[in-house]
Structure 1
């Protein structure tokens, strides 16, 4: 976790961190995981941490969308996004840095995540 810090991209995407006073990953997970777990498996296909083998919430948007790290095979991870406004689940194979960079440069356009227009990062804490 030392490789990144908490912050906000484009006043839209909140990057959580376990040692943040403002964007505390564990506090957000404790508060939100029960709500997301209610959507499993009808809308969100996987259990949510702290459930065993659950996805880990790592970011949220200003519109209430949630970004998860989804466990894969042999220790790999992929990105899962719950788009609240559309009640829709999407998955991406990229790592988090590549996924963010591709959106900021416009090579990955995701409706509902306007990061190509708002790529500025502001650190918090």
Structure 2
């Protein structure tokens, strides 16, 4: 997509594929064999880019080759992006639709998800620890 994505994200996708975390967060996988999510990712990213350009403080891929990459959507239409900072650093950017608010987190995707599912990281609006678990979609 936008060059090298974070290794930890690619490993997570290779290990688990697309799925739902905590009955709330749908993790998208661009190369999913069964769900064909690459086109879906491009459509949804374009929609967020068009509808909320002032709310998301980064360009969004594919409208910008170096833009933030959509990697998950919540049950409440919150959008989660991988955001490049510098040459090698990536952050998780979350646009909370219900609050029209942007937040960024420094952790890698698997650690960020695991901490939430285990209750070690509580983010209002993302109740991943309530149900926990991962349900594969492929």
Indicate if the aligned counterparts of 1:59 and 1:66 stay in contact, CA closer than 8 A: yes
CA distance in structure 2 between the partners assigned to 1:56 and 1:3 by the alignment: 19
User: When the two structures are superposed, what TM-score results if normalisation uses the length of structure 1?
Assistant: 0.90
Equivalent residues in 2 for 1:10-89, closer than 5 Å: 10-20=22-32, 21-22=34-35, 24=37, 26-38=38-50, 39-40=52-53, 42-50=54-62, 51-89=64-102
Question: Higher helix proportion, which one?
Answer: 2
How many residue pairs were aligned?
123
CA distance in structure 1 between the partners assigned to 2:90 and 2:83 by the alignment: 5
Q: Which runs of 5+ in 1 are unaligned?
A: none
SS class of match (1:45) = coil
Cα distance, 1:4 vs structure 2: 3.6
Q: Which runs of 5+ in 2 are unaligned?
A: 1-9
Indicate if the aligned counterparts of 1:6 and 1:23 stay in contact, CA closer than 8 A: no
RMSD: 1.5
User: Which structure is richer in relative contact order (CA contacts within 8 A, separation 6 or more)?
Assistant: 2
CA distance in structure 1 between the partners assigned to 2:100 and 2:55 by the alignment: 7
User: When the two structures are superposed, what TM-score results if normalisation uses the length of structure 2?
Assistant: 0.82
Indicate if the aligned counterparts of 2:23 and 2:132 stay in contact, CA closer than 8 A: no
CA distance in structure 1 between the partners assigned to 2:36 and 2:79 by the alignment: 14
